[in-house]
Amino acid sequence: MKKSLTLTTFAVATALIASVNTTQAAERELRIICFGAHPDDCELQAGGTAALWASKGHKVKFVSLTNGDIGHWRDAGGPLATRRKKEVQEADKILGIITEVVDIHDGELLPTVENRRIVTRLIREWKADLVMSHRPNDYHPDHRYTGVLVQDAAYMVTVPFFCPDVPAMQDNPVFMYYPDRFQKPNPFDPDVVVDIGGVLDKKLDALGVMVSQFYEGGANGSHKLLPEEPEKQKGRHQEVRDGFARRNASLAERFRTQLADWYGKDKAGQVKYAEAFELCEYGAQPNKERLKKLFPFFSN
């Protein structure tokens, strides 16, 4: 009798500790690292979701794997890289997150072992729970190789003698992709779609400080985009802002069915602006419960 009581007490105590641990795990700070090829890609693809995470006290870092030094029709080189780094730092301050720009030339990113080490170290140092990147069949070579490099790091982050200077991860993070429109070999198919309506203005404000890319048009822009009269400049700013809002509205429209999986049909029908993410087959493979912990924005 005594033995069975002691065992019962032990079982209850173990269950209590397990429940406390589960609660702590549910509430603990999340750490997310997003990779983009250029200083603006992460902000475009995940700026709203990052602002949501940041507002709940989670830690987000945006990394650009190139310095963006050919991303303008008039300017290039060091001065453009410096300008774009400042732009992205200002944008990420608005979102409430950390930023890093890796000093690799724009248009020249390759999936080398050296770059695999850079990406592996960044993921480990951030102690990431979740890692995001472009898909490896996006249109721009730097986007594609960002996707390849992040995929190549997805297993290596756990291997102790690859980059032994930074401790290997005990838990493999979850890896996810940003959306694109490319159909071959397979179209983007999101696993999580996030309502960003509540932070849309913050995202648009952040994109709005990246003048070189959006008001001036980046690599494919021209002087014609830059009106001299202040009224016309205001018009240009509004035009850019409206364009980005439409882009996030079209994601909500395109993935309305998947929104319903997370918000329920009624609520999903009212979502105006969204960001979407697809699970990578490498890295940890989360179930819906784990995804809800990684994206703690759904009430149902």
Q: Which of 32, 34, 37, 207 binds Zn ion (CB under 5 A)?
A: 37
Residue 41 or 191: which CB sits closer to Zn ion?
Answer: 41
* Binding of residue 41 to Zn ion (CB under 5 A): yes
* Binding of residue 138 to Zn ion (CB under 5 A): no
- What residue spans of 209-270 are helical by DSSP H? 230-254, 256-263, 265-270
Residue 48 or 147: which CB sits closer to Zn ion?
Answer: 147
Distance, CA of 211 to CA of 278 (rounded, Å): 29
Residue 107 or 197: which CB sits closer to Zn ion?
Answer: 107
Q: Which span sits near Zn ion by CB under 5 A: 35-43, 166-174, 239-247, 286-294?
A: 35-43
Residue 31 or 38: which CB sits closer to Zn ion?
Answer: 38
Residue 37 or 52: which CB sits closer to Zn ion?
Answer: 37
Burial class of residue 251 in the structure, from the number of CB atoms within 10 Å of its CB (0-12 exposed, 13-18 middle, 19+ buried): buried
Element holding 298 (H helix, E strand): none
* Binding of residue 195 to Zn ion (CB under 5 A): no
Helix (H, G, I), strand (E, B) or coil at 70: coil
What are all long-range contacts of 156-161, with beta carbons under 8 Å and residues at least 24 apart? 156/116, 156/120, 157/120, 157/123, 157/124
By rule CB under 5 A, what string of x and - marks binding of each residue 56-95 to Zn ion?
----------------------------------------
* Binding of residue 144 to Zn ion (CB under 5 A): no
The phi and psi torsions of 36 (rounded to 5 degrees) equal: -130, 160
In whole angstroms, how close is the CB of 238 to Zn ion at the nearest point?
Answer: 24
Q: Which span sits near Zn ion by CB under 5 A: 34-42, 81-89, 186-194, 281-289?
A: 34-42
Residue 65 or 163: which CB sits closer to Zn ion?
Answer: 65
User: In the numeric block, which tokens belong to residue 175?
Assistant: 């890896």
* Binding of residue 38 to Zn ion (CB under 5 A): yes
Which residue minimizes CB distance to Zn ion?
38
Name the nearest CA neighbour of 73 among 217, 208, 215, 209.
217
- What residue spans of 127-229 are helical by DSSP H? 141-156, 200-208
Name the nearest CA neighbour of 269 among 256, 278, 282.
256
* Binding of residue 135 to Zn ion (CB under 5 A): no
* Residues at the site binding Zn ion, with contacts judged by CB under 5 A: 37-38, 41
